Amino acid sequence: MSEPQVKTIELSIQGICCAEEAQNVQRAISALPGVQSTNVLLASEKAIVKFDPALVDMDKIHKAVESAGCSITGLTATRPAFEGTKVARRLVFRIFAVFGVVFGVLLLFVVLGEMLGVFRALTGLVPWYIWAIVILVGGYPVLRKVLHSTLKRKVTSHTLMTVGLIAAIVVGEWPAAVLLAFFMRTGDYVEHFTTEDVRRSVKELTSSAPQQARVERLGTEVMLPVQEVQADDIVVIRPGEQIPVDGEVVNGQATINQATITGESMPVEAAPGTKVFAATLSHLGTMKVRTSRVGADTTFGRMVKMVEKAEAHRAEVQRYADKFSGYYLPVVAAISILTFVLSGKPLAAAAVLVVACSCAFAIATPIAMMASIGASARKGLLIKGGKYLELLARADVVLLDKTGTLTLGRPEITDVVSLNGMTDTAILQLAATAERYSEHPLAEAVRAKASEFGSVAGEPEQFKAIPGIGVRAIVDGKVISIGSRRSVPDAIASLDRAHSLEAEGKTLLFVMSNDEPVAILGASDLLRPEVPASITSLRRIGVRHIELLTGDNERTAAALAKQLGIAYQAQLLPEAKIAVVKFYQSRGNTVVMIGDGVNDAPALAQSDVGIAMGAAGSDVAIEAAHIALMREDWSLVPDVFHIARRTMRVVKTNIGFTALYNVIGLSLAAFGILPLIIAAALQSLPDIGMMINSSRLISTPRRHEGTPSSAN
């Protein structure tokens, strides 16, 4: 029997105004037979659906979304609407909104005056049908949603408030009913504003993408939409223009502001051979760029996609909140019925329904998470989801790669020791040829040193990179291997000259020809200057254990670890690094692995949170890591830890405030202490509180202070 075909699609959803509606859409799609998973993203207004096309088609998905009160945009609907009708409908809704707000504000003053005895006679003169008209007109958008949900047999928080409104009408409390309609609208506006405030971070990031490119075609320059640019096209960028593609400079030079990618405002100089990225800004020069990637495939496009999908990786605390929201409404309804049965006061029962705020539980976590993720992206910190912020906030073990992570990743060959009488020039020529296709920083150092001696790397007949070991190539018919001490016999690895170089903290490369020793190359890689202070900051933040994991030799690793005051393990293959991560996880630790995303990609993926340094332009790093730091700056590491802890403090405050509000509000309403009008007015309080609290995360200042913790 053949395996079922699985298809994944992204749908743009219109009409998701709050977390409750997002959950309704997700449940509606997930209930369809053949749908394997659904993630509805409130911040980016999208749904990611994984389904079996043999069991469910787009028409069914469209109807499911429609049944939840929303619609799919960018897709041909089963009943296409005339654009003029849409415009008219929007106009009518705006008129209703203005009408409802104006009358609501006026009546708020009137009713408050009546409560004070000022307008008592005046309100008594208003016929009941005037009150009814005001309620219908002012509350129409909300009441329409409630009717739609009721017909679909769905109960929402607005359903409970509407029941409270009807109860007020039944007992003749028309002013209270009008106030209820007004505050229902107010609550909708507040929640919509809160959601839009978070969406703005994603929208601002997306709007930074360039739309046009100046392309050389047949000797002339042509302005084209970015989506029409192809690989290897030559794009001309003039001063003050955005770079529209990823590529390499082939002519000219310019100063580039890469803040949209790296978050760093300091400009960089671009010349022939420099890699440049889409959405960065060119200054002071004209250049030509050979296109390598366009649109969604560019580094910037991948950044936007990652931020948009970040909401799909929900934090555990958010999953609990979502489950709680599902049980909350039935509990509130039960408390209301019990209140009426025991007290016989319909207004008290109505106040219970009105004061309850279920939406607040649903948005307490995602609003804070998305505010933080969106703000971080603008600073060059890509976080794949709230799940990783939550894990990072409680991380207690940090494991570090060495080359390209703690060090600058640009080692230099400082020593060439011949073991068979070959000259330094000949040794470097041979080594550079064998390392020609290696991407390792040490291989680049070998090629650079050979170039200094006037040697040009030749073409190896065969080449193979062995992770954690080195390279093996055939050069002039001979098998040339270059690697660490584990790649050579103990007799060669234990030579006195090798020991003396390692004692100086240098990394060794052993060059072998047909299993015979040729030379030892000593390399030195400078420690990033900001690393010591950043390690200290991690300890202050609360990280209990920091450990270096390196494939380097014991002496080099020990010298670096001593300098930083951290633990270390040396001569580790990639598989061994994974084993170390698993060991700490088995002890119950939350493990963070920090690397460059290339050789340590498996360990990054295995860790609870993998952080890749300098990920700009690196597909491997962006894919392997859970958090990608777009520039090579170690001060970003304590920054992202601080952001995670700050975000979780805001989330806990949101949830705590919402829980306290509901407990107090429901208790006061159930005992008849909280009047119906006051209950309606307080209904929007949690949303307003969370909006104010979460908005602090939209600005994430750099900060390295924290709570002191034990040393390593």
Q: Give yes or no: 188 in active site.
A: no
**pTM as predicted:** 0.69
Confirm if 537 and 563 have CB atoms less than 8 A apart.
Answer: no
Predicted confidence (pLDDT) at residue 74 exceeds the cutoff of 70: no
Say how far apart CA 198 and CA 310 lie, in whole Å.
13
Say how far apart CA 102 and CA 96 lie, in whole Å.
10
Predicted confidence (pLDDT) at residue 94 exceeds the cutoff of 70: no
Please tell me which residue in 233, 246, 401, 424 is annotated as part of the active site.
401
pLDDT at 266: 66
Q: Which of 473, 400, 415, 419 is nearest to 446 (CA)?
A: 415
For residue 432, name the pLDDT band (cuts at 50, 70, 90): very high
Rg (Cα) of the chain, in Å, rounded?
A: 32
Confirm if 598 and 621 have CB atoms less than 8 A apart.
Answer: yes
Burial class (CB in 10 A: 0-12, 13-18, 19+), 91: exposed
Weakest-pLDDT range from 141-150, 260-269, 334-343, 561-570: 260-269
Most confident of 19-28, 273-282, 393-402, 490-499: 393-402
Calculate mean pLDDT across residues 337-347. 88
Confirm if 648 and 369 have CB atoms less than 8 A apart.
Answer: no
Predicted confidence (pLDDT) at residue 277 exceeds the cutoff of 50: yes
Give the model confidence (pLDDT) of 645-689 as tens digits.
999 999 889 888 888 988 898 999 899 888 877 777 777 777 777
Confirm if 8 and 16 have CB atoms less than 8 A apart.
Answer: no
478 backbone φψ class: left, alpha, beta (φ>0; ψ -120 to 50): beta
Q: Which of 600, 638, 632, 634 is nearest to 615 (CA)?
A: 632
Most confident of 11-15, 520-524, 672-676, 687-691: 520-524
pLDDT at 124: 63
The H-assigned helical ranges of 542-633 are: 554-564, 574-586, 601-606, 619-624
Calculate mean pLDDT across residues 239-254. 87
Predicted confidence (pLDDT) at residue 311 exceeds the cutoff of 50: yes
Give the model confidence (pLDDT) of 119-163 as tens digits.
555 556 667 777 788 777 777 777 777 777 777 666 666 777 777
Calculate mean pLDDT across residues 597-610. 81
Predicted confidence (pLDDT) at residue 95 exceeds the cutoff of 50: no
| Amino acid (1-letter code) at residue 675 | P
Calculate mean pLDDT across residues 180-201. 65
pLDDT at 192: 64
Give the model confidence (pLDDT) of 439-488 as tens digits.
887 888 899 999 988 887 888 999 988 877 789 999 988 999 998 877 78
DSSP state of 243: P
Residues 376-406: b if buried by 16+ CB within 10 A, e if exposed:
bbbbbbbbbbbbbbbbbbebebbbbbbbbbb
For residue 705, name the pLDDT band (cuts at 50, 70, 90): very low
Q: Which of 365, 416, 421 is nearest to 390 (CA)?
A: 365
The Cα-based distances of 450 to 443, 518, 521, 524 in angstroms read 11, 16, 12, 16
pLDDT at 703: 47
Look at 652 and 101; give whichever has higher pLDDT.
652
Predicted confidence (pLDDT) at residue 89 exceeds the cutoff of 50: no
pLDDT at 123: 57
Mean pLDDT score of the chain = 78
Calculate mean pLDDT across residues 88-103. 48
Most confident of 10-14, 310-314, 647-651: 647-651
Say how far apart CA 437 and CA 435 lie, in whole Å.
6
For residue 397, name the pLDDT band (cuts at 50, 70, 90): very high
Look at 83 and 216; give whichever has higher pLDDT.
216
- CB contact set of 613 (below 8 Å; sequence gap of 6+): 404, 405, 594, 595, 596, 597, 621, 629, 632, 634
Residues 104-137: b if buried by 16+ CB within 10 A, e if exposed:
beebbebbeebeeeebeeebeebeeeebeebbee
* Residue position matching structure tokens 């499911």: 64
Confirm if 556 and 506 have CB atoms less than 8 A apart.
Answer: yes
The domains of the chain, with CATH numbers, are: 7-73 (3.30.70.100), 81-211+299-375+643-704 (no CATH), 230-293 (2.70.150.10), 376-407+529-640 (3.40.50.1000), 412-524 (3.40.1110.10)
pLDDT at 493: 75
Most confident of 167-171, 306-310, 661-665: 661-665
Enclosing H/E stretch for 105:
helix 83-115
pLDDT at 43: 61
Weakest-pLDDT range from 24-33, 410-419, 580-589: 24-33
For residue 708, name the pLDDT band (cuts at 50, 70, 90): very low
Predicted confidence (pLDDT) at residue 583 exceeds the cutoff of 90: yes
The H-assigned helical ranges of 11-82 are: 19-30, 58-67
pLDDT at 712: 35
Say how far apart CA 608 and CA 447 lie, in whole Å.
37
* Residue position matching structure tokens 């979780």: 648
Predicted confidence (pLDDT) at residue 105 exceeds the cutoff of 90: no
Predicted confidence (pLDDT) at residue 346 exceeds the cutoff of 60: yes
Tell how strand 462-466 and strand 567-569 pair up: unpaired
The Cα-based distances of 252 to 258, 273, 287, 289, 369 in angstroms read 18, 10, 4, 9, 42
Calculate mean pLDDT across residues 561-569. 91
Q: What percent of the chain has pLDDT over 90?
A: 16
For residue 398, name the pLDDT band (cuts at 50, 70, 90): very high
pLDDT at 77: 34
SS3 letters across 288-339 = EEEEEECHHHCHHHHHHHHHHHHHHCCCHHHHHHHHHHHHHHHHHHHHHHHH
* Residue position matching structure tokens 């929640």: 191
For residue 206, name the pLDDT band (cuts at 50, 70, 90): low
Count, in order, helices (H) and strands (E) of the chain.
Answer: 26, 26
pLDDT at 82: 37
